[in-house]
A and B are shown apart, each in its own frame.
Chain A
Amino acid sequence: DAGVIQSPRHEVTEMGQEVTLRCKPISGHNSLFWYRQTMMRGLELLIYFNNNVPIDDSGMPEDRFSAKMPNASFSTLKIQPSEPRDSAVYFCASSLTSEARGEQFFGPGTRLTVL
């Protein structure tokens, strides 16, 4: 199995631009998680899906952030408009089990820099 795939691996954009991060979970996994990691705030859950349905989006910072999971093999995290404080590493993870009771497999992350 290829593991969790994320793209792009690096993204540099200017403030105000739209950013779309993509994730392909491990085949057969039914939960998908989006995290953001910074030195100041650590690893924070933004949103998680179970069977393609958003279950908990309480970590989504504000309306500028949106996430979708149109099918079991693809998810996107969009930031519009982007701001310098959005600069972080964004991880996608997937799990075989529902909620957060099982092992999560992380993708390599997308390093986002907003100038």
Chain B
Amino acid sequence: QKEVEQNSGPLSVPEGAIASLNCTYSDRGSQSFFWYRQYSGKSPELIMSIYSNGDKEDGRFTAQLNKASQYVSLLIRDSQPSDSATYLCYNKLIFGAGTRLAVHP
């Protein structure tokens, strides 16, 4: 049974801090990973994709992939209250349970 694991949180960070969201996966052959953001009452939307080991940066967001450790993370720099949402890790048809992030002023 393939799995995607996330800490459900909530993860609470002060405004301006770095939020670090983590995800582990079980399928060693996986090549592509995605981070989706879901605001309360809304549908998920893609914010980052990553396909190779290392870091991928897009604005305030950085995705990190370590295939040897089967680990993918999402860093949000200069966190804003508008970043408060649930962040879902996705791999091969499976969504993680999501980590709820709360950014407080």
Interfacial residues, chain A to chain B (CB-CB below 8 A): 35, 42-45, 48, 56, 91, 99-101, 103-109
Contact = CB atoms under 8 A, between A and B. Distances in A.
A19 B98 CA distance: 28
Given A45-B94, A108-B43, A109-B43, A101 B88 contact: no
A43 to B, nearest CB: 4
A43 B88 contact: yes
Interface of B: 31-32, 34, 42-46, 49, 88, 90, 92-98
Nearest to B96: A42
Contacts of A109: 43
Nearest to B46: A103
Contacts of A101: 31-32
A91 B90 CA distance: 15
